[in-house]
Amino acid sequence: MAAPELRRRTVVGLMAGAVVVTVLAFTVRGFGQLVVGYEFALLLAGPLFGVAFLLAVLGFCLAVLAKLSVVSIE
């Protein structure tokens, strides 16, 4: 019976992780502009935005699969 709760926690964790990584990316970009300049700050924050986007897409896909009853969440 632990598997359905684990799956629900996984979807919520992915979405929360996406929010946290997005905030981290904005923080890195903002402080990076102060320290190393605009272009290099974008270069540093870019991969973090990419990871946040992938986490959000993965969480969304799992939520859609659960809504369509392909993956069981109870």
Query: DSSP characters for 2-65?
Result: HHHHHHHHHHHHHHHHHHHHHHHHHHHHHHHHHHT-HHHHHHHHHHHHHHHHHHHHHHHHHHHH
- The structural domains of the chain, with segments of one domain joined by +, span 26-74
Smallest CA-to-CA distance from 32 within 17, 48, 55, 50 is with 48
Q: What is the pLDDT of residue 70?
A: 78
The pLDDT, as a whole number, for residue 2 is 44
Q: What does pTM read for this prediction?
A: 0.83
Distance CA 40, CA 34 (A): 11
Sequential pLDDT tens for the chain (74 residues): 445 555 688 888 999 999 999 999 999 999 999 999 999 999 999 999 999 999 999 999 888 888 887 777 76
Which pLDDT belongs to residue 8?
80
